[in-house]
Amino acid sequence: MSGAMTERHMLGEDEAAPLAGLAARVRALTEAAVLTGVGADEARAVADEIAALTERLRAVRRDAPPFLVTDGHRMDRQGGNPVTGVLNPIAPPVDLDVTADGIVRAEFTLSDVYEGPPSYVHGGMSAMVLDQALGMAAAQTGVGGMTATLELRYRRPTPLGVPLTVEAKASRVEGRKIYASGTIAGPDGRVTVEATAMFVTPQHFLVHER
Ligand SMILES: CCCCCCCCCCCC(=O)SCCNC(=O)CCNC(=O)[C@H](O)C(C)(C)COP(=O)(O)OP(=O)(O)OC[C@H]1O[C@@H](n2cnc3c(N)ncnc32)[C@H](O)[C@@H]1OP(=O)(O)O
């Protein structure tokens, strides 16, 4: 089990690259598993091979997901993040970038693995991407915080398999409360999901930062 205060192994580029490659292969495996039409015998045979590979990876196990050594943004170092983490196969991953004026932005594509209603993105997945983007935007104001509220408006279905854009920006800071808003848009530029959120900086974040 991983705890918030667990000491993290820091991965340099040389260590991180092969693990990111491993995650990319597992990501492809996940999509293949969701879409495969192989028969029962082949499915069982592949499952046995995967079980053996899983044991090989478990042979050396860390207490918590490692962080990446980067000179970039704060969240980039969380290699196991389920939205942005290159080390996490369940992350698309969404490569969030921050502009000089604090706008957090990424282009990303969600495969059939993230299907909710047939042929469209699961609303919970859109929420997760927006939570991350708005959280990163909030962090640009200073310390950042935990999501206290996240409100979503699903304006139209979000399509799978095409380039989407997520954008987020902090709007104001009131004491330990940070407000942010953002959107996901389809390839035609039309907004599919709007989000507003409030993040609260826990007292112990301030103790750690100062
Ligand atoms: C760092 C790198 C990041 C880097 C970038 C991070 C990106 C991360 C993106 C993912 C973020 C997540 O998913 S975070 C995971 C999901 N969120 C959580 O699990 C949060 C669980 N909740 C908590 O830990 C806590 O409740 C907190 C931290 C939110 C608040 O606790 P607290 O600090 O004790 O707050 P407290 O003193 O009671 O209240 C302070 C003020 O905020 C208000 N307030 C508190 N909670 C709420 C609330 N849910 N809804 C409305 N208002 C609230 C209070 O009324 C009060 O207002 P007033 O009386 O002063 O007016």
Q: What is the set of domains in the chain, with CATH numbers?
A: 1-93 (no CATH), 95-209 (3.10.129.10)
pTM score: 0.95
Q: Whole-angstrom Cα distance, residue 188 to residue 156?
A: 13
Q: Whole-angstrom Cα distance, residue 50 to residue 29?
A: 10
Residue whose CB lies within 8 A of the most ligand 1 atoms, among 200, 201, 209, 210, for a mutation test: 200
- pLDDT exceeds cutoff 50 at 1: no
Q: Where are the beta strands (DSSP E) in 46-138?
A: 67-68, 97-98, 104-108
Strand, coil or helix: what is 172? strand
Q: What is the pLDDT of residue 6?
A: 84
Say yes or no: ipTM exceeds 0.90: yes
What kind and span of H or E run contains 124? helix 123-139
Residue whose CB lies within 8 A of the most ligand 1 atoms, among 146, 201, 206, 210, for a mutation test: 146
Q: Whole-angstrom Cα distance, residue 149 to residue 135?
A: 11
- pLDDT exceeds cutoff 50 at 2: no
User: Rounded to the nearest whole angstrom, what is the distance from the C-alpha of residue 205 to the centroid of ligand 1?
Assistant: 11
By mean pLDDT, which of 16-25, 27-36, 61-70, 72-81 is the weakest? Answer: 72-81
Measuring from each residue's beta carbon to the nearest atom of ligand 1, which residues come in under 6 Å?
74-75, 131-132, 135-136, 139, 144, 146-149, 176-177, 200, 202-203, 205
Separation of CA 109 from chain center: 12
Q: What is the pLDDT of residue 210?
A: 47
User: Rounded to the nearest whole angstrom, what is the distance from the C-alpha of residue 161 to the centroid of ligand 1?
Assistant: 34
Return the ligand 1 atom nearest residue 143 CA: 1
Provide the β-strand partners of residue 20: none
